[in-house]
Amino acid sequence: MTDSSTAAPAPKPWILGIAPYVPGRATSEDGRKVVKLSSNENPFGTPEAARDAYRSAASELERYPDAAAIELRAKLAAHYGVEADRLIYGTGSDEVLHLAAGTFAGPGDEIIHVRYGFAVYEIATRRVGAMPVIAPDRDYATDVDAILAAVTERTRVVFVANPNNPTGTYTDGGEIARLHAGLPRHVLLVLDQAYTEYLEAEDDDGGLELARTQPNVLVTRTFSKIFGLASERIGWGYASTEIIDAMHRIRAPFAFGIGAQRAAIAALGDDGFVTRSREHNREWRDWFTDAMTAIGLRVVPSKANFVLVLFEGALTAEVAYHALMAAGYATRWLPGQGLPHGLRITIGTKHELRAVADVLAAEVQKAG
């Protein structure tokens, strides 16, 4: 019999169903520091103006930040052509995703995400007691028809990343519009655009315009990727006034610090850094894709700053993962996301990618 005086409080049963998020490794199994190609960070680091802006807050550590993020919202509004009063912000776009689930779903409800979608979607769903519904993919890409077929009277939210993580696949604007048109009006469509700045101008999926004109669309963005501010955890979302007002009711009052806000504002002003990052990513993503194809490995077509390499022959993803780690390169092996045969590899510097390609070529030959 359990002693009630020493037993811990019991968590809600749906909490125990959550598999905790596992971040990309920065060290080897034996503790060595390795080149980190596991978290899709910017190989160029952070704009220098953002570093300077962050340092400027060192004398204000005793002060609370502006809880309304007025200056940052104004800068975002001007930069992206959106309305400042329809913006929400959080500790990375992860928090905004959690806010969406927590505001619009709960026990007895369903939230849809695609197979091979971002791991946070299921965590955010289960955290509020809702049931995750996984829509089948179409060769690792988002299948709009499969999502629409999964909708029931219990559906409250649909999460779609575009480009998708961890596959890198992209869904064009016509398909996104078709998805939205097919959803009931009471279902919130969340378009997670964490990697959108890596797209070319012609690849705009129309998400911001949908969020501007439709009452049930939320677009989320982050400063963690192309802007190089992953450590500061700055995310934001854009939706109708009604959606944003409801989400603000459960938002933490101080999402990020004074230095983080200043750094984000400065990063938005450095178009040259963003352009250089995008161009490097396109050039070396294409190069790495060609290099993998040449040694017989399949690469899922990507428009993000990473590629998903599939190991469908003699060389397994597990063996490749450990070989790369032994050589000093951390990649993301994804058995927990149903991809035991895949490695997600960040587009790093040209020297890093050439080294990774050499290791994998040698392993393919060895597996022979």
Average pLDDT over residues 311-328: 97
Entry field: residues in the chain: 368
- What residues pair up with 270 in beta bridges, in sequence order? none
Distance of CA 360 to the CA centre of its chain: 26
Average pLDDT over residues 212-233: 97
* Long-range residue pairs from 275-283, CB within 8 A, at least 24 positions apart, any chain: 276/44, 277/42, 277/44, 277/198, 277/226, 277/228, 278/197, 278/198, 278/226, 280/43, 280/44, 280/347, 281/198, 281/305, 281/347, 282/198, 282/200
Predicted confidence at residue 4, as pLDDT, reads 60
Res. 5: pLDDT tops 80: no
329 three-class SS: strand
pLDDT digits (tens, 9 = 90+) for 108-125: 999 999 999 999 999 999
Give which of 65, 85, 67 is closest to 76, Cα–Cα: 85
- What residues pair up with 88 in beta bridges, in sequence order? 237
Cα end-to-end distance, the chain, whole Å: 58
CA dihedral 147, 151, 155, 156 (to 10 degrees): 50
Please report which confidence band the pLDDT of residue 22 belongs to, taking 50, 70 and 90 as the band edges.
Answer: confident
Res. 28: pLDDT tops 90: no
Distance CA(347)–CA(354), nearest Å, equals 11
Residue that is written with structure tokens 């060609």 in the block: 290
- The secondary structure element, H or E, covering residue 339 is strand 339-346
Predicted confidence at residue 3, as pLDDT, reads 59
Concatenated DSSP letters for 267-326?
A: HHT-HHHHHHHHHHHHHHHHHHHHHHHHTT-EEE---SSEEEEE--SSS-HHHHHHHHHH
Query: Residue 3: phi, psi to the nearest 5?
Result: -80, 110
Predicted confidence at residue 72, as pLDDT, reads 96
Average pLDDT over residues 249-255: 90
C-alpha distances in angstroms, 203 versus 54, 171, 206, 232? 32, 9, 9, 28
Distance CA(150)–CA(185), nearest Å, equals 16
Distance CA(214)–CA(208), nearest Å, equals 10
**Model's pTM, two decimal places?**
0.94
Cβ 68 vs Cβ 85: under 8 Å: no
Report DSSP state, residue 7: P
Higher per-residue confidence, 278 vs 253: 278
Res. 1: pLDDT tops 80: no
Concatenated DSSP letters for 64-125?
A: PP-TT-HHHHHHHHHHHT--GGGEEEEEHHHHHHHHHHHHH--TT-EEEEETT--HHHHHHH
C-alpha distances in angstroms, 103 versus 96, 109, 186, 225? 10, 12, 13, 26
Average pLDDT over residues 182-210: 96
Task: Pull the structure tokens for residue 144.
Answer: 């709009």
Predicted confidence at residue 42, as pLDDT, reads 98
Residue that is written with structure tokens 């352009």 in the block: 275
Res. 343: pLDDT tops 70: yes
Please report which confidence band the pLDDT of residue 17 belongs to, taking 50, 70 and 90 as the band edges.
Answer: confident
Residue 361: Cβ-neighbour burial (10 angstroms; 0-12, 13-18, 19+): middle
Residue 342: Cβ-neighbour burial (10 angstroms; 0-12, 13-18, 19+): buried
Task: Pull the structure tokens for residue 266.
Answer: 């400065």
Average pLDDT over residues 326-341: 96
Res. 288: pLDDT tops 90: yes
Give which of 285, 297, 235, 296 is closest to 260, Cα–Cα: 235
Average pLDDT over residues 136-145: 97
Average pLDDT over residues 48-63: 96
Please report which confidence band the pLDDT of residue 2 belongs to, taking 50, 70 and 90 as the band edges.
Answer: low
